[in-house]
């Protein structure tokens, strides 16, 4: 349910030929004479900065590729302190405020970093030590210049394309160009663009298998269920490339989850959480371990798919306990609480719907979820699903409540983007409601009407842009269609539906169980045509 596109996150991170010698990027303070062993990836980057600033600069560059943005910014600022005229250290800090695949950008912070180098673009250009550094700075000026973010992202991608063409041996230019391409898909995954990025990164990864950006951006380019096999080798490598970058540890699971590799998904996210907690303790000895968040949502989902329901419940209980304790006082705390509540609603949905009959562990938090439109929608759709399966006397009211929650959700204008009327954000609630209405119809004996609604939902799901992570719907539409056809003893069509569901979300327990049930049906079971799955 958690997806890359911000607008639909409710249901819903060597040896280089251009380097001035090899250098290890490692976590260290400014002034250390012997860099620690490689822990965040191997990078090299020819530049005009002072020798004393190199280790911090290279550490920052590796962390920039790892999406460890706060760590990268700190390292680049240390490099600035070591060499106040080091133009690329200011460039690096500015780039840490742009998060392309998350479609986030702190424009003011980036511009402030550049202004500390020089008051104007011309002044900054004058401080760049080489023509190549001037080109990098000029690309940053475009990214943080005039126009909307949408426009600047596209001009920046063109600038990086030119940089890549001008310096074909510059591995970082190639990596940042691929990343810039991914950052232009703000309306959903545009497959031709993603495949262009994948082609760039595949070649770099083959030649420089320890570069963090090459493995990372290749994974991002192919982490949907169809293309994920192309990223399996990079996933297996990336965790070893950057063992001290928690995002790198999690990123491997983008491929594992897409391939239904649940044990690997669990290990990747448990490792990411351990690394993250270690970093928190390094800053604050009294820090508490994370209880909610992105890694935890993926971990919970994988546990459910493995049938480890006690583990999944413990994860949910821990996050819920933390949210019960919190009393957000600032806008930032409120946003964190809202996002955590959304994540909790998503974990609850997976636990209840995929768990088939397990009791609700956190029913008391319904009033809290109702405060936030995204969490309220996921919560109410889940309630309706549970009622349809086990409490028929409550089903009509529960579906009506889900409909109200969908209307409330759609009435909220996203704060981070201007979206087209046909954007997935506006389509997904309708798909969820069609599946609920279909289940109501099936309960009432209206078989053809129910199947029509399920097929409609399946086609609409298929029309959504490919994405990564747990399925965007509380249950994949073809999976629900398969269950309905199985109930109606239409074995041939049920198989087609389950196979279509498995193509979009490989390895799900319900698909495996559904196909096994089809195999057990008598040979004479109906194979009525018209499943309409793909």
Does 304 have pLDDT greater than 60? yes
Domain boundary among 193, 224, 241: 241
Average pLDDT along the chain:
90
Share of the chain above pLDDT 70, in %: 90
Question: How far is Cα 363 from Cα 418, in angstroms, rounded to an integer?
Answer: 35
Q: Is residue 439 part of a domain?
A: yes
**End residue of a domain, out of 214, 241, 268:** 241
Q: Is the pLDDT assigned to residue 350 strictly greater than 80?
A: yes
Q: Is 358 in the same domain as 233?
A: no
Indicate if 184 and 45 belong to the same structural domain: yes
Residue 297 has pLDDT above 80, yes or no: yes
Q: Which of 186, 213, 241 represents a domain boundary (last residue)? A: 241
What's the predicted TM-score (pTM) here?
Answer: 0.90
Q: Is residue 446 part of a domain?
A: yes
Co-location of 70 and 190 in the same domain = yes
Task: Report yes or no: 95 and 173 within 8 Å, Cβ to Cβ.
Answer: no
Please tell me whether residues 237 and 356 are part of one structural domain.
no
Same domain, 65 and 208: yes
Confidence bin at 339 (pLDDT 50/70/90) = very high
Angstrom distance (rounded) from CA 91 to CA 19: 17
Find the CATH number of the domain harbouring 471: 1.25.40
Q: Is residue 277 part of a domain?
A: no
Same structural domain, 208 and 356 = no
- What's phi and psi for 359, nearest 5 deg? -75, 155
Quick one: 201 and 73 in the same domain?
yes
The reply to whether 207 falls in a domain is yes
Distance CA 379, CA 342 (A): 9
Domain assignment present for 432: yes
The DSSP code sequence of 14-36 is ---TTSSS--B-----TT-SSPP
The Cα angle at residue 169 between residues 164 and 173, in degrees rounded to 5:
35
Number of structural domains in the chain: 2
Structure confidence at residue 391 (pLDDT): 85
**Range(s) of the domain holding residue 150:** 6-241
Give DSSP secondary structure letters for 395-462.
HHHHHHHHHHHHHHHHHSPPSS----TTSHHHHHHHHHHHHHHHHHHHHTT-HHHHHHHHHHHHHHHH
pLDDT per residue as tens digits for the range 366-399: 999 999 999 999 999 999 999 999 888 999 999 9
Residue 315 lies in a domain: no
Residue 252 near residue 268 (C-beta atoms within 8 A): yes
Domain membership of residue 272 (yes or no) is no
pLDDT band at residue 4 using 50, 70 and 90 as cut-offs:
very low
CA distances from 272 to 100, 247, 249, 388, 447 (A): 21, 7, 5, 37, 46
Residue 301 lies in a domain: no
């Amino acid at each position: 349910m958690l997806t890359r596109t911000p607008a639909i996150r409710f249901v819903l991170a060597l040896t280089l030929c251009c380097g001035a010698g090899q250098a290890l990027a490692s976590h260290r303070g400014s002034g250390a004479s012997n860099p620690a062993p490689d822990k965040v990836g191997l990078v090299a980057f020819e530049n005009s900065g002072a020798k004393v600033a190199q280790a911090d600069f290279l550490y920052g560059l590796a962390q920039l590729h790892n999406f460890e943005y706060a760590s990268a910014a700190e390292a680049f600022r240390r490099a600035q302190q070591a060499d106040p005229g080091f133009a690329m250290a200011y460039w690096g800090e500015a780039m840490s405020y742009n998060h392309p695949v998350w479609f986030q950008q702190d424009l003011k912070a980036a511009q402030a970093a550049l202004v500390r180098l020089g008051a104007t673009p011309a002044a900054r250009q004058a401080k760049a030590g080489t023509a190549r550094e001037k080109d990098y700075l000029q690309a940053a000026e475009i990214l943080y210049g005039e126009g909307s973010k949408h426009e600047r992202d596209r001009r920046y991608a063109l600038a990086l394309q030119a940089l890549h063409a001008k310096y074909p041996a510059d591995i970082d230019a190639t990596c940042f160009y691929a990343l810039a391409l991914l950052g232009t898909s703000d309306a959903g995954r545009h497959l031709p663009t993603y495949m262009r990025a994948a082609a760039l990164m595949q070649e770099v990864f083959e030649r420089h298998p320890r570069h963090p950006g090459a493995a990372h951006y290749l994974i991002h380019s192919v982490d949907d269920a169809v293309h994920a096999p192309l990223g399996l080798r990079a996933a297996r490598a990336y965790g070893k490339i950057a063992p001290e970058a928690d995002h790198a540890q999690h990123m491997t699971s983008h491929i594992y989850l897409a391939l239904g590799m649940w044990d690997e998904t669990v290990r990747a996210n448990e490792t990411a959480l351990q690394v993250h907690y270690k970093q928190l303790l390094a800053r604050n000895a009294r820090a508490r371990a994370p209880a909610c968040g992105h890694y935890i949502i993926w971990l919970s989902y994988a546990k459910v798919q493995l049938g480890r329901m006690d583990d999944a419940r413990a994860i949910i209980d821990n996050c819920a306990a933390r949210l019960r304790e919190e009393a957000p006082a600032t806008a930032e705390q409120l946003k964190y609480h809202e996002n955590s509540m959304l994540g909790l609603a998503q974990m609850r949905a997976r636990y209840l719907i995929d768990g088939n009959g397990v009791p609700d562990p956190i029913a008391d938090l319904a009033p809290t979820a109702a405060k936030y439109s995204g969490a309220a929608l996921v919560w109410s759709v889940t309630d309706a699903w549970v009622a349809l399966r086990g409490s028929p006397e409550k089903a009509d009211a529960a579906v009506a409540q889900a409909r109200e929650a969908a209307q409330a959700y759609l009435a909220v204008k996203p704060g981070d983007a201007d979206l087209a009327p046909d954007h997935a954000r506006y389509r997904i609630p309708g798909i969820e409601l069609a599946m609920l209405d279909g289940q109501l119809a099936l309960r009432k004996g209206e078989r053809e009407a129910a199947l029509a609604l399920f097929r409609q939902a399946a086609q609409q799901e298929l029309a959504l842009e490919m994405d990564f992570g747990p399925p965007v719907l509380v249950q994949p539409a073809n999976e629900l269609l398969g269950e309905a056809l199985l109930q109606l003893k239409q074995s041939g069509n049920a198989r087609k539906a389950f196979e279509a569901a498995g193509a979009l979300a490989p390895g799900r327990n319900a698909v495996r169980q559904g196909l096994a049930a089809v195999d057990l049906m008598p040979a004479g079971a109906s194979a009525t045509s018209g499943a309409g799955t793909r």
